[in-house]
Structure 1
Amino acid sequence: MHTDPVNQCLSSKRTLYQLVVNLLKRIPFPKNLVDDFFYVPSNHFCHHFVSSSHNTEFLKRRGHTMGQLLCCTQVDQSTVAIKERFGKFDDVLEPGCHCLPWVFGSQLAGHLSLRLQQLDVRCETKTKDNVFVNVVASVQYRALADKANDAFYKLSNTRSQIQAYVFDVIRATVPKLNLDDDFEQKNEIAKAVEDELEKAMSAYGFEIVQTLIVDIEPDEHVKRGDEYEINAAARLRVAATEKAEAEKILQIKRAEGEAESKYLSGLGIARQRQAIVDGLRDSVLGFSVNVPGTTAKDVMDMVLVTQYFDTMKEIGATSKSSAVFIPHGPGAVRDVASQIRDGLLQGSINTLNLSDSEPQLYISLYIVVHSTFLLLMFSLN
């Protein structure tokens, strides 16, 4: 039975490799140094070894481990390395190349990044008006180079520690405010979280650069209710505006109609008065011509008495009239006419300087017209 020479070569190389690994493990190298350096995947001798991403990481580890084997190590920029001697903290290594004599018990405990880091924390809490909200806080922090040993050794999980402080401050601050106040006082909440974190994390070698409240999310039912109320309020505002505009138009049109109605009513009243005066004048003139010896005063007194009795008849006949107390008797009309005539006569003589007969005629006409309008007013009521 023939064996493949390639398989024989691979088998012999694996056997030799395993013997060397077992031998080096007996030498007191730093922890995991030999395992990291001599770790080779099963396809080490395959042609696609270099193209594999896993093997690329292996080459990177191999490069660092080769430096430790040669008592040298490299620290990247914006990073510090923690040096230990026989398991005890010894020094903080700055970026660059450093000598690390492992034969004297020196080794790297780990690396610490000095870059600015961000942690987003989502905290659920309740407001003063019993609304559940999710508050999203963004904390930006970094390790201090002069306190790198505290940052490396004092905390096992920095992010969990920061998250716990954020929860504590938010759940102590937000329940004191209403939902609207939480949105208005986001900066005050962020400042309270930042002050508490700065005071707590400075003892662990971390600096809190800035804290932001990036979002406050109310419960979904509350959001829908607020949106409905806002939309309803907007619709009511639009409806109120439209209603006010309609009322404005109605008031304007009503005022225009009343103005036009009063104007036309005034024209009618003016024409009515003119017709009454013309009719009375013609009646007085015709009566004076047809009945010799009568004066204008006699005619006006007769017309006045006729108008007076017509007015009394209308007041008594209508059902809408209220109680009216009017002096009634044979001389009532004459007394009223005499009082009005005397007052107007004196004023007319002083102002117009009329003759004795003209004031009598005008006063009589005025009394008749006034009585006629009084009769019309009661008739309309």
Structure 2
Amino acid sequence: MPMSIVTERGSCTKLPSENWTSGQTAAGTIHRHSRALPLSHSQLCSLVVFVLFSCACQLPSTTPQGQGASRSDPWTAAMGNLCCCVQVDQSTVAIREQFGKFDGVLEPGCHCMPWFVGKRVAGHLTLRLQQLDVRCETKTKDNVFVNVVASIQYRALAGKASDAFYKLSNTRSQIQAYVFDVIRASVPKLHLDDAFEQKDEIAKAVEEELEKAMSAYGFEIVQTLIVDIEPDEHVKRAMNEINAAARLRAAANEKAEAEKIVQIKRAEGEAEAKYLSGLGIARQRQAIVDGLRDSVLGFSVNVPGTTAKDVMDMVLITQYFDTMKEIGASSKASSVFIPHGPGAVRDIATQIRDGLLQGSSVTQH
């Protein structure tokens, strides 16, 4: 229907309703004291619904940063607030305020929330276990820079939900600051190798400090783990080279020890072989002497008038010619000079006899 607008001059200009809804106006500004526009019953109802819905849309909760809460669907929240109802999910609590003041904690489920008396949901707080990974750079006692990675598992306490919601604006930053403080106070007291060995002690120190600090804010530290200690790449390469050199040195020692054992066993084998060879030669010579003695005795008995000296000379002559035969058969390019006359046998026998007599005299003295 047409509507009237009063201009500065006091004249009244009529505009069609479609022009009014599209935002068009007549020339001039609207006078402050113009009379109210007449509205129909349907338009009035629509305006009331629009105002109520706008108020309800301004009531959905806001969640402080770092609390780990999630927003619900704005349309669902608006309709719930419009109906004075609010839903809290499982493993989550809601913080209720009345005119900006804390009024209570809402457990999971459906709750009545009369927004028209100033009550609203200020935010949600999750009770689930959360994990924060913190990477801290520090220096060891032997001046090696390392990156220590700590994993913090924490959760909010339902009995202290108001403290967890209001006392901290950023829980993760607060935990990270405490982790930095403890790690940078503990690791510089240790050498690099000791830091790897005492990871559990470092984690325990971090957990104790966090437990004392965060319990006042309504949070529980479930577990603290030192998941990794990362030295610089050059330091890791040097450590690997040191380890490799130590293993090579140990391998060289083991190899030398093995060669030593082989040589000792070889020498023992050669000594045993020579000992057995000597026993064989001694037995051989003993057998030869026994055979010669039997031959001399038998020859003396069978040939009357012969002496033992004659028999020995004959045996030496026989061995002398056997030796010359073997030398002539086995000698190829070498030249061997030996006495070849018959008198040489007598000289050899004399030399052997003199040597035996000298050995007997030395043994007796």
How would you bin the TM-score normalised by the shorter chain?
Answer: 0.5 to 0.7
Q: Deviations over 1:340-365 (max 9, x none)?
A: xxxxxxxxxxxxxxxxxxxxxxxxxx
| Equivalent AA in structure 2 for residue 256 of structure 1 | G
Q: Does the aligned pair in 2 maintain the 1:80–1:93 contact within 8 Å?
A: yes
Alignment of 1:37-186 (within 5 A): 60-186=73-199
Using the TM superposition, give the Cα deviation of residue 188 of structure 1 relative to its aligned residue in structure 2, in angstroms.
1.4
Partner of 1:250 in structure 2? 263
When residues 160 and 231 of structure 1 are mapped into structure 2, their CA distance, relative to the original with a 3 A threshold, is same
Question: SS at the partner of 1:235?
Answer: helix
Q: How many angstroms does 1:252 deviate by? A: 1.0
What's 2:38 paired with?
none
Change (3 A) 1:13 1:240: farther
User: Does the Cα contact within 8 Å between 1:30 and 1:107 map onto a contact in 2?
Assistant: no
Letter in 2 for 1:368: S
Shift of 1:121: 0.7
Task: Indicate if the aligned counterparts of 2:140 and 2:146 stay in contact, CA closer than 8 A.
Answer: yes
Deviation track 1:155-202 (CA, whole Å, cap 9, x = no partner) reads 000000001111111111112222222222221111111111110000
Closer/same/farther in 2, CA of residues 63 and 158 from structure 1, 3 Å limit: same
Matched, 1:214 2:214: no
CA positional deviation for 1:203: 0.1
Who is 1:47 aligned against? none
CA apart distance, 1:117: 0.5
Residues 1:268 and 1:368: Cα distance change in structure 2 (over 3 Å)? farther
The residue type equivalent to 1:104 in the other structure is V
Q: Aligned with 2:135: secondary structure?
A: strand
Superposed CA RMSD: 4.3
Tell me the CA shift for residue 271 of structure 1. Answer: 6.0
TM-score (norm 1): 0.60
Q: Distance in 1 between matches of 2:218 and 2:138?
A: 30
Q: Does the CA contact (< 8 Å) of 2:57 and 2:78 recur in 1?
A: no
How many residue pairs end up in the alignment?
A: 271
CA contact (8 A) 1:307 1:368 kept: no
- TM-score w.r.t. structure 2 length? 0.62
* Percent of paired sites with the same residue: 55
1:32-78 Cα offsets, whole Å, 9 max, x none, are: 349x9xxxxxxxxxxxxxxxxxxxx9992111111112222111111
Mapped contact 2:132–2:151 kept (Cα < 8 A): yes
- 2:363 is the counterpart of 1:370: yes
Structure 2: any 5+ residue segments left out of the alignment? Answer: 1-17, 25-42, 63-69, 297-306, 311-350
- Do the aligned partners of 1:79 and 1:112 also contact (CA within 8 Å) in 2? yes
AA aligned to 2:144 is: V
Q: Tell me if structure 2 keeps the 8 A contact 1:276–1:369.
A: no
2:327 equivalent in structure 1? none
1:331 corresponds in structure 2 to none
Matches within 5 A, 1:262-273: 262-268=275-281
Q: Which residue of 1 is the match for residue 11 of structure 2?
A: none
- Give the residue type in structure 1 aligned to 2:255: E
Shift of 1:238: 3.2
Counterpart amino acid of residue 117 in structure 1: Q
Cα-to-partner distance string for 1:90-133 (whole Å, 9 max, x where unaligned)? 11111111122222111111111111101111111112222222
| 1:227 aligns to 2:240 (yes or no) | yes
- Of residues 107-116 and 256-265 in structure 1, the stretch that sits farther from structure 2 once superposed is 256-265
Distance 2:282 2:190 in 1: 72
Q: Partner letter of residue 32 of structure 1?
A: Q
Shift of the 152–59 alpha-carbon distance from structure 1 to 2, 3 Å rule, reads closer
- State yes or no: 1:188 paired with 2:201: yes
Q: Distance between the aligned counterparts of 1:139 and 1:308, measured in 2?
A: 99
Higher helix share: 1
How has the CA–CA distance of structure 1 residues 95 and 286 changed in structure 2, closer, same or farther, with 3 Å as cutoff? Answer: closer
The CA distance in 2 between the partners of 1:200 and 1:146, in whole Å, is 17
Structure 1 unaligned residues grouped into runs of 5+: 1-8, 37-56, 289-302, 312-366, 375-381
Aligned-residue offset at 1:28: 9.7
Instruction: Return the alpha-carbon distance in structure 2 between the equivalents of residues 158 and 253 of structure 1.
Output: 75
Evaluate the alpha carbon distance shift between residue 238 and residue 308 of structure 1 in structure 2; reply closer, same or farther with a 3 A threshold.
Answer: closer
- Cα distance between partner residues in 2 of 1:92 and 1:64: 18
Contact kept in structure 2, 1:137 and 1:212, CA below 8 Å: yes
Local SS of the residue matching 2:132: strand
Does structure 2 conserve the Cα–Cα contact (< 8 Å) formed by 1:122 and 1:134? Answer: yes
1:287–1:239 CA distance, 2 compared to 1 (3 A) = closer
Query: Any conservation in 1 of the 2:59–2:121 contact (CA below 8 Å)?
Result: no
**Letter of the 1:185 counterpart:** Q
TM-fit CA distance, 1:154: 0.4
- Please report how far the alpha carbon of residue 86 of structure 1 lies from its aligned counterpart in structure 2 after TM superposition: 1.2
